[in-house]
Chains A and B, each alone.
Chain A
């Protein structure tokens, strides 16, 4: 860990611009910016939010099939519904969007605004592709007979993955807003934290999908 020291006039410190550089600094009690601390508290609550939906899905997982077999009902089996190669591709796209997001952050931190715009646009485009894939998947499932009211599987599956999709959509709007601000010249290297916070939200959405992809699609159904 290297250490750099700089003389700073009290007035500059007062204004929160302690040192010259590519980052904006805020004086806080914790030594962390309020925005960064705030997004982590928010993400912590989001972990609880998605944790509840994933828990509910896991608890009811496979029970519909057992009930349908006992009562001679016909409901679509997850094994027949899921198109693993297709969902693997959309998962790959979401993973790649996390890469482009950190590359956008690295670009703004070194003041490369052209690359920032490229990587932000790429991240939004990957997110949009993921959402398009989800819409296509939902449409197919609906045609196959899996509705929101098709037992506990339909309800828990659509609510959980739909809420995740809603989060991705919010993230896309956030990225597009940053892109617009950057094009208007309102997002310079001193605002790198704004990109970092959007990135934290985006990566969180990605890690939620990592869990959903495994427990919903890959773990085998009996």
Chain B
């Protein structure tokens, strides 16, 4: 493998972008968050989990509102872990694209399976509630 030509990109594991420019390795520092930031994110995640559990026990709340609130809170936790702990916030865009592609395909599978089973159930008496 030949390396060291101008414009070539190398990779590092600290979230940095490394390139070869005019025969020099240039490190564009793009470091991962610091431990203090990781702890702050953990505190936020714990607080959101507490809110989720409290919302699930809220008796006066409309069921549909409760579902929307719970899904929004789960999405927030999901995004925080992906962005900060999995470093998609600072890492290369191509990685973000790969992951988003997987999520979009998963949602697509959900839609297809839902439509398929909806059609099957409508043509059968088994799951008519």
Which A residues contact B (CB, under 8 angstroms)? 1-8, 10, 13-14, 16, 18-19, 21-28, 30-33, 36-37, 40-41, 43-48, 50-52, 54-56, 58-60, 62-63, 66-67, 69-70, 84-85, 88, 91-92, 95-96, 98-99, 101-103, 105-106, 109, 192-193, 196, 199-200, 203-204, 206-207, 210-211, 213-215, 217-220, 222
Additional A-B contacts beyond A59-B114, A211-B78 (4; CB < 8 A):
A33-B13, A45-B102, A47-B105, A210-B78
Are A84 and B10 interface neighbours, CB within 8 A?
no
Given A3-B29, A51-B106, answer yes or no on A36-B38 (Cβ-Cβ < 8 Å).
no
A10 to B8, CA, bound (A): 13
* Residue from the list A51, A92, A96, A220 in contact with B105, Cβ < 8 A: A51
B8, chain A: closest CB distance, angstroms = 7
A88, chain B: closest CB distance, angstroms = 5
Given A106-B38, A220-B66, answer yes or no on A84-B19 (Cβ-Cβ < 8 Å).
no
A73 to B92, CA, bound (A): 54
Main secondary structure of the interface of B (DSSP, over half): helix
Are B85 and A59 interface neighbours, CB within 8 A?
no
A2: which B residues are within 8 A, CB to CB?
Answer: 28-29
Total contacting residues, chain B, CB less than 8 A: 74
B86, chain A: closest CB distance, angstroms = 5
| Chain B 71-94 per-residue mask, 1 if CB under 8 angstroms from chain A, else 0 | 101100110011011100000101
Are B49 and A92 interface neighbours, CB within 8 A?
yes
| Chain B 25-69 per-residue mask, 1 if CB under 8 angstroms from chain A, else 0 | 111111011110011011001100100110111000001001100
Given A32-B11, A43-B99, A55-B109, answer yes or no on A102-B85 (Cβ-Cβ < 8 Å).
yes
Q: List 9 A-B contacts (CB under 8 A).
A: A1-B28, A4-B27, A14-B2, A21-B12, A31-B9, A31-B19, A98-B85, A99-B85, A204-B86
* Residue from the list B1, B8, B34, B56 in contact with A106, Cβ < 8 A: B34
B53: which A residues are within 8 A, CB to CB?
Answer: 84-85, 88, 218
Are B25 and A19 interface neighbours, CB within 8 A?
yes
A135 to B101, CA, bound (A): 33
A175, chain B: closest CB distance, angstroms = 15
A220 to B3, CA, bound (A): 57
* Residue from the list A25, A48, A222 in contact with B109, Cβ < 8 A: A48
User: Which of B11, B41, B84, B102: most chain A CB closer than 10 A?
Assistant: B11
B117, chain A: closest CB distance, angstroms = 5
Are A207 and B82 interface neighbours, CB within 8 A?
yes
Closest B residue by C-beta to A196: B13
Are A44 and B99 interface neighbours, CB within 8 A?
yes
Are B3 and A13 interface neighbours, CB within 8 A?
yes
* Residue from the list B14, B30, B38, B105 in contact with A109, Cβ < 8 A: B14
Are A48 and B105 interface neighbours, CB within 8 A?
yes
Given A18-B18, A98-B85, answer yes or no on A109-B13 (Cβ-Cβ < 8 Å).
yes
A4 to B24, CA, bound (A): 10
A19 to B26, CA, bound (A): 9
A213: which B residues are within 8 A, CB to CB?
Answer: 52, 74
A140, chain B: closest CB distance, angstroms = 19
* Residue from the list A4, A92, A206 in contact with B29, Cβ < 8 A: A4
